[in-house]
Amino acid sequence: MAIDESTVGRTPLVELDAGVAPTVFGKVEWLNLPGVGHGGGSIKARIAVAMLDVAEEADHLPGKTILEASSGNTARALARIGAARGYETAFVVPDDLGSGKRAALEAAGATLHEVPAAEGYDALLDRVTELASEPGYWHAGQYENATNPSAHEQTGREIWHQTDGAVTAFVAGAGTGGTVTGVGRTLHERNPDVRVVGFEPATEPHGLHGLKYMREGGYHPDTYDESVLDEKRYLATEPARVAARELAVRHADTDPTIVDAGQHDGETIRATLRVDGDFLVGPTSGGAVACVRELAREGVLDGADTVVVPLCDRGDTYAEGELWGNRLS
């Protein structure tokens, strides 16, 4: 499997029509590993490259199968990059894994160990811990691997550069918590007044794929440093879906404005922004926009603010289910 790892990072920043007073920029993370098919890349390609680099430097990988628990995006990234580097891969995944993510994993030759989604995400973590105790595996450990948030310090540096230091708020969901932790640390180092907001699912089960329910105990990732947060919010699934769908409506006839192209050219960016003519984002991206709308409605953010949200993956990764099922079926 041919993979160009140089395409990971330096992703574009675009301006979204979010229907709020603050300026809202989206970091287009599906342009990590563009052109790989099955929904493109995702924000998790950043940590996959970083974790594998560190493991190879420590000589942990020879003769081992890469193992991880994932709702899809980390597994896709590790499967693709791992296969390109010559490793076998295996993943513990929920049994409701989206068809796009499943197709990507199968195309990369990954072995899948499925756990009932109704049992919650901690069941995946329990199962991967069992497998990791067996010989022959290297467990990436995205929930405890410090390389995860460290990799996103670079994401934060990109955001600072792309906004010329004008960013006043960063809003992101927490699964491993690596994104909001790493980006938040970097932005606070440059300006302690930047408002870093993390959000988590309000209920379990939920449809905010990739995020972890932690409201009533359970496993708390080592990679999630809540001291970085200026505020934490709990978000229901439906507002996230509504925000994602409204973005599609608002951008029905007009592409998001490219603020900074990163390492890509405008033609490449515009070619990947739409799916069958529609601007479709995943549920966690919709969740970030929904949180921005809440903050604006409450007066926490206003027209003087410049907010950045990660567009973690593209909507065709969720080709079935309640978010985009009708549109993409």
Residue 323: name the closest of 252, 233, 243, 254 by CA.
243
Q: Report whether the peptide linkage leading into residue 12 is cis, meaning its omega lies within 30 degrees of zero.
A: no
- 96-to-202, 204, 208, 320 alpha-carbon distances in Å: 20, 15, 13, 10
39's torsion region: left (phi>0), alpha (psi -120 to 50) or beta?
A: left
DSSP code of residue 255: P
Distance separating alpha carbons of residues 203 and 303, to the nearest angstrom: 31
Distance separating alpha carbons of residues 214 and 199, to the nearest angstrom: 11
Whether 44 is catalytic: yes
Return the axis-axis angle of helices 73-84 and 44-57, rounded to nearest 10°. Answer: 50
DSSP 256-285: PEEEE-TTS-HHHHHHHH-BTTB--B-HHH
Residue 206: name the closest of 241, 246, 245 by CA.
241
Q: Which of these is catalytic: 27, 44, 101, 212? A: 44
Distance separating alpha carbons of residues 199 and 293, to the nearest angstrom: 13
Q: Are 110 and 90 within 8 A, CB to CB? A: yes
Distance separating alpha carbons of residues 43 and 312, to the nearest angstrom: 5
Q: Are 221 and 176 within 8 A, CB to CB? A: yes
Residues annotated as part of the active site: 44
